[in-house]
Structure 1
């Protein structure tokens, strides 16, 4: 039996900084099978009730966190993984077959399947080029069986980096943050056709951001909103932008401004909170400011800081998800942690993990879609409950007002 007190940090028992990759790069879940789930133990974890999934899910009761790493190194080379852990840090799933893992999201309608984007570096001959390249892959894995299905793959230049974020936005359709080409696009994975594309060059001066064309925007996150708009994180412009899919950039919605570091400084992974959960608001990892922060949009159309968190250890955080219970799940990349923060700022759980990029709590939806805005009166939904934004298919077909 595990009993977690919200008043004191709970440190997971497994320290992932010293993990040894399994032979062949893949480990099956430890003792977990689709027809033999662990027994429910009544655990309450960081304010979330114990979860009792159906036997067919193959998952133990209690909260499960899925995480990725992208900056972990062994012997001077990248050595990253995708993992799923129990509340006590014990490992349910582990895969290090790719060199880099970035975004990971639960697959809607499943209990134990996640979608992730990762990359392997290929030699010039494998790239049919004079230089090396990244092979970006989008895959799904069933955490109870270890079965992996590749949905899409595309090569990008090593100079321009690997994809950081891909979201499912309908049957056979993916929304991609194309860091290599400073674009966001929707691809039909059956036909390979890009059905919608927004290029930052349409709306931003080339004098902004980083050096063009090598690492100009460093677009590292995309999110399809409930009204059909796309939220885009332009790291090197220090901005979270909102794009109408027909009319382009909505400048009056932009959060942040280039070199206005008091607002945002090279942020990662913003998550949008809609009005029905206390927004419009954005929770974002303000990476170079070593904090996680929430901004809320006022009736006058301005963004105002509503909540922020940091401690002496937080160093280059790259993900912050608001959970349905009002807590915030944070990846502390250089601080070597994934941790859960209560709304009063207390660290209620953490696991030590080097170089983490993204973390998701199973049962709370893509990017923990049920989380409320800070101070909005508590959770708007329960874990695994309905999401007010509707299906991805309906959002993809929506036209923003």
Structure 2
């Protein structure tokens, strides 16, 4: 921040001495944007791939055009979920000493649902290329992305009110209006099916364990299973091949679930780049979409108009990799809206990521790999942007990644009638350079 006098010709201008102003600005920049010493050391060593002096936290806000509320995130590798105000500052924290959160969202009753892996199951070392996979499914999936072992519902103070344990669940879940919960889990698919599945990188090992597939199941509040769909039976081994650049450990790698008012289940699978709709009553696949339109996509969601929104990661796309958000009509397969960057290669996340359509028509985007969140209008104007300064460790490597983010209005049961002030987390905000001295600005300001 260097202040300059106006150009010549400006009337009633008295040239001041800017030396002391620039000194103060320099101190403020150091206070607000410099990470703590441990993070600086990681950055200096080049382990995060960007400058230790880049600006993080809130980088842009257009208050007149943004959707006001609180943004909930669970940075990968940490032990916490956070609520951020519109100034990008932490105003609430849920902490989980016994698990590593993967994904968090607020439920309709105001509680937080957290999907994560318990620390006793969490892998600590890096993935080793070519390492032999365990034969036991529960042990094997601990090395898969998005793995979890518990889905937990907690109140505002972090007290557990409901929990479901399963060492093979992963990625996503949906709480239904009747209190039931829809979850996805890995299963071993039959060998005769595995042999028919095309694609993927084949290995010569004789001890290769079974290929993993996905099944979606629904449980009631006491944990009784009431419905199940075997996704591996709905896919065609010939027409839904694994990407040739992916291993054959998994066929589909289901990474997103959503359920509409009719009970139809929308899902997204990364490894074979497929999005589908399952009719709840018949169990049949009523819509299939994907490559060559989407590549390793995430976060397929229903919109109120019946269309489907997808984060198309663009990983392994022909040409330069680039991501985009698309809204499609499943009745016609027509793309009716699309967000891309300009130039398009400046927006890319090879994995994770998501997008939420907000009630004012804007879209909150989570560019997951670098941990960048931004809100865009229908006209593709970015009206809010936040870069994650919270550095955690994933399999021994530093990370600022976020699987997905959600924003909730101030009238949501989780936040209504609560005085949420960043001052309550002043030291935590200062540690991560979120906000300046005194945390000036309202909770819905910038």
Scaled by the length of structure 2, the TM-score of the pair is 0.57
- 1:234 alignment partner, one of 244, 255, 269: 269
Residue 319 of structure 1 pairs with residue 331 of structure 2 = no
Residue in structure 1 matched with residue 290 of structure 2 by the alignment:
256
Return the offset for 1:80: 5.6
Residue in structure 2 matched with residue 281 of structure 1 by the alignment:
307
State the superposition RMSD in angstroms.
3.5
Change (3 A) 1:131 1:104: closer
Residue 268 of structure 1 pairs with residue 298 of structure 2 = yes
Return the offset for 1:183: 0.9
- Supply the distance in 2 between the matched residues of 1:17 and 1:231 (Cα, whole angstroms): 40
Residue pairs, 1:107-146, within 5 angstroms: 107-110=107-110, 113-122=111-120, 131=139, 133=142, 136-143=149-156, 145-146=157-158
Larger Rg: 2
* SS of alignment partner, residue 215 of structure 1: coil
- Supply the distance in 2 between the matched residues of 1:147 and 1:16 (Cα, whole angstroms): 34
- Supply the distance in 2 between the matched residues of 1:270 and 1:365 (Cα, whole angstroms): 26
Return the offset for 1:20: 8.7
Residue in structure 2 matched with residue 104 of structure 1 by the alignment:
104
The answer for unaligned runs of 5 or more in structure 2 is: 1-30, 40-60, 123-135, 188-212, 316-320, 389-399, 413-446
Residue in structure 2 matched with residue 35 of structure 1 by the alignment:
none
- 2:260 alignment partner, one of 217, 225, 228: 225
* SS of alignment partner, residue 181 of structure 2: strand
User: Relative to structure 2, which stretch is displaced further, 211-220 or 162-171?
Assistant: 211-220
* SS of alignment partner, residue 163 of structure 2: strand
Residue in structure 1 matched with residue 173 of structure 2 by the alignment:
166
Indicate if the aligned counterparts of 2:75 and 2:102 stay in contact, CA closer than 8 A.
yes
After superposition, the C-alpha distances for 1:135-175 in whole angstroms (9 at most, x for unaligned) are 521122334x333434211112xxxxx51101111444210
Return the offset for 1:177: 2.2
Aligned residues: 292
Structure with larger RCO (C-alpha < 8 A, sep 6+): 2
Residue in structure 2 matched with residue 93 of structure 1 by the alignment:
92
After superposition, the C-alpha distances for 1:179-215 in whole angstroms (9 at most, x for unaligned) are 455011101241x332111111222134523689732
Residue in structure 1 matched with residue 65 of structure 2 by the alignment:
47
* SS of alignment partner, residue 86 of structure 2: coil
Indicate if the aligned counterparts of 2:265 and 2:278 stay in contact, CA closer than 8 A.
yes
Indicate if the aligned counterparts of 2:353 and 2:366 stay in contact, CA closer than 8 A.
yes
- Supply the distance in 2 between the matched residues of 1:203 and 1:212 (Cα, whole angstroms): 21
- 1:66 alignment partner, one of 68, 72, 79: 72
- Supply the distance in 2 between the matched residues of 1:229 and 1:308 (Cα, whole angstroms): 26
Residue in structure 1 matched with residue 405 of structure 2 by the alignment:
359
Residue in structure 1 matched with residue 44 of structure 2 by the alignment:
none
